Chain A
Amino acid sequence: MSTESNKPQKAFLSGNEAIAYGAAQAGCTVASAYPGTPSTEILENIAKFKETINCEWAVNEKVAMETAIGASIGGARSLCAMKHVGLNVAMDPLMTFCYVGATGGFVFVSADDPGMHSSQNEQDNRNLAKFARIPVLEPSDSQEAYDMTQAAFEISEQFHVPVMIRMTTRTSHSSSLVDLGDFKPKTRDLIPYVKNIQKTIPVPAFARGQRLAAQERTAAMEKASAASALNRVEAGDRRLGFVTSAVAYQYVKEIFPEFSILKLGWTNPLPKDLIADFAKRVEKLVVVEELDPVLEDQIKAMGLAVAKHETELNMMELNADRLQNLRNELLGDVPKAKKATPDTTLPTRPPTLCAGCGHRSVFYVLHKLGAIVNGDIGCYTLGAFAPLNAMDTTICMGASINVSAGMKKAGVKGRMCSVLGDSTFFHSGLTGALSAFYNGTPVTTVVLDNRITAMTGQQDNPGTGKTLKGDPAPVTEIADVAKAMGYKTVVEVSCDDLPGLEKTLAEAMDSNEPALVIAYAPCRIAAKLTKEGLCEVDSAACKACGACFKLGCPAMTRGAEVRPGFFQMKIDASLCSGCKQCQQLCKFGAIKRIK
């Protein structure tokens, strides 16, 4: 990257990339995160600036936030990033750090996922910032992501407060041109650390004072927000006045270009004076925001009249089509006739486990064994679907072990296990595994060890031997961890050995003690094994029994229909990885590895 010139540099960046550039430009020197869609690329791009930013993958979001907190107390500008549910994990430190307050600028990114493109729930984390009484900045595109990241560090140091940047899937994963100005990653001298336990140890006597200070700080921040260039009026037709933020602003510009807009970039605490003034200048106030009515409820509480409308805007992802419906309703426009509707008779194409994925054989076996499977968050959640059909529950990161413990305690009978990935085990499986062991709850924990954080795009973790910066790292073996906890039954088995898997899993589930099974197979994408080999079906030997199709491998297609409803299997050579899972299911020896 060129940093020598003073001329403005323009770059085509995603919102997540722009945050990384903004952090580098602001002199951020410490950054930590756990991967999670749609936030993952923030730290991946920060790693490009590893010369100035000491960056890392933390094992979970709580660790990431606490690490950034330590850096801030130590006087550095620091950042952490997470997906919306990651903030649930990090709420504990946040709710006290908002009392203690930042020394060096402290910025965290919450990347929400309206519409749940890649998440188990929908959360508007602006609610949590309001709860913590901290500022929220809401970029509407990549330029603002770059600018607001820098502004966030300034605000954080001005008010000694943690600042949330609220991104969404759309702002994180949309790209647009960014004027980087005179971009030059920098470091800043530490604000000298001075021990001050009245600030950094919130025992009740000190915390009470901090609680009062937080209230005063909110009033001061509200004044600053009202005066900030991050909030601006775009005057237009006064019949409608829109109060809007984040990507919703872009949709308002698209659909209501002629009307007045109060564009809010700094939304908590709400700049009430600015809004009251804007309301006086327009005939009807309309609030458009993505997900919860966070702005709208506060504006109504100010006693201002907000336009009522039938068009539901406060759940699922917002888009211009939905605002077009609002326009039709508010202005009495005639809806345009739809030219065509989606063809819903087509076969669907849902995401699937990759050809050769080691998770597949585990789910095949668990289904065969008739087990209740409490699952977790990762690629392997796909094991829930046909034809594998081998998952009963998924709650959140690390829940699998504890849900089994609860079911066992409740007296649910039959074979049962918990299934989670290596990265999820490190994230929040450790505590559950320990708790089950301590309490003697006979939970069988199956760690699907593929030596990578796969679902989010193959990030490193404590089991991979590499850091975010690309440096070598010590490897933590999950078997060693379980043994250190005291587990007597710790079994490692290869996912490529189907009979071995079946025996191991059955024995573990049938035993009456806590057990930990490590089902090992490296992620084929991460290990570049997607073309390790190739299998072929001998059509003279294939009896069309259909046994192999139960794996649901995308490299398998239907060949000749031998009897009505019974098809031979054919392997798509462009997809087959040569894993030989199907070969082990074929009683007729019809499947051979040819390469």
Chain B
Amino acid sequence: MKTVNVSLVGVGGQGIILTADMLAKAAALAGYQVKKSEIHGMSQRGGSVTSQVRFGDHVASPIIQEGTSDVLVAFDRLEAVRTAHELAEGGKAVVANVDLVPVTVSSGIQPPVADLAGRLAAALPTAVVVDAMTIAREQVGNERTMNMVLAGALSKVLPIDESYWLEAMKLMLTGAKAKLLPANEKAFALGRAAV
């Protein structure tokens, strides 16, 4: 099988790295070779964050070449537009309908994007936009499960059976975190239903 490239982008603190972990573990459980890469450190302080997962029969490079992501998962619309060029021809984009205002804009140093919805539609015309935050807040009752709503949506476009995703989630939520499992499972199921 050709290696599948998944880029996950957003803002530090949104649960991007955890989502990438879950995807990587699900891919490994499904029997694929898998590599995951990310940058920590200074970028975690409210800056743009990218995590990348590659899986297939054989994976060499841990990072994805520019413009070759088969799937782009964006946790924020501005970050989706910023990284749209990473998506390959015919690739799929899953975008959360979330707008975190960069401090450069809120402090008036840089102008805001006038028509973000229009820019997104132009940059990623076939993007699946998921109301992930609303679903997490109103249907799950926990904003922190926004990433699992997106993971559910992502699971619909990747060749990894749902059972492996749920198994990966169980592996990650152990001990004291096990009590978070029902909410996360619900968020994941709602994300799947949203695509």
Contact = CB atoms under 8 A, between A and B. Distances in A.
Contacts of A169: 39
10 contacts: A12-B25, A141-B35, A321-B65, A349-B104, A351-B43, A351-B45, A387-B107, A387-B109, A554-B46, A557-B101
B188 to A, nearest CB: 19
Interface string B63-101: 101110000000000110111110011000000000001
Interface in A94-120: 117-118
B132 to A, nearest CB: 14
A173 B38 contact: yes
Contact of A170 (B21, B62, B113, B119): B62
A308 B38 CA distance: 32
A554 to B, nearest CB: 5
A494 interface: no
A346 interface: yes
B62 A174 contact: yes
B72 to A, nearest CB: 12
Given A349-B47, A351-B44, A554-B46, A339 B67 contact: yes
B148 interface: no
Interface of A: 12, 37-38, 117-118, 141, 169-170, 173-177, 247, 250-251, 253-254, 257, 319-321, 324, 338-343, 346-354, 379, 382, 386-387, 455-457, 546, 549, 552-554, 556-558, 567, 572, 574
Contacts of A118: 39-43
B107 to A, nearest CB: 5
Contacts of B89: 339
A342 B40 contact: no
Interface residues of B, number: 55
B108 interface: yes
A176 B110 CA distance: 39
Contacts of B67: 338-340
Contact of A346 (B81, B101, B143): B81
Contact of A351 (B37, B47, B65): B47
Contacts of A549: 107-108
B60 A348 contact: no
B11 A141 contact: no
Interface of B: 11-12, 21, 24-25, 28, 33-48, 59-63, 65-67, 78-79, 81-85, 88-89, 101-113, 119, 123, 143
B113 A347 contact: yes
B28 A12 contact: yes
A343 B63 CA distance: 21
A343 B107 contact: no
A324 B47 contact: no
A117 B35 contact: no
A117 B82 contact: no
Given A254-B61, A320-B65, A341-B85, A350 B107 contact: no
Contacts of B60: 250-251, 253-254, 257
A219 B107 CA distance: 61
A388 to B, nearest CB: 10
B62 A456 contact: no
Nearest to B61: A254
Contact of B36 (A174, A348, A558): A174
Contacts of A320: 61, 63, 65
A574 B133 CA distance: 12
Contacts of A257: 60
Contacts of A324: 65
Nearest to A10: B28
B62 A353 contact: no
Given A351-B46, A352-B103, A250 B61 contact: yes
Between A324, A341, A352, the greatest number of chain B beta carbons within 10 A of the residue's beta carbon is seen for A352
B107 A556 contact: yes
Contact of A347 (B21, B84, B88, B110): B110
A379 B63 contact: no
A339 B36 contact: no
A343 B44 contact: no
A349 B47 CA distance: 5
Contacts of B107: 386-387, 549, 552, 556
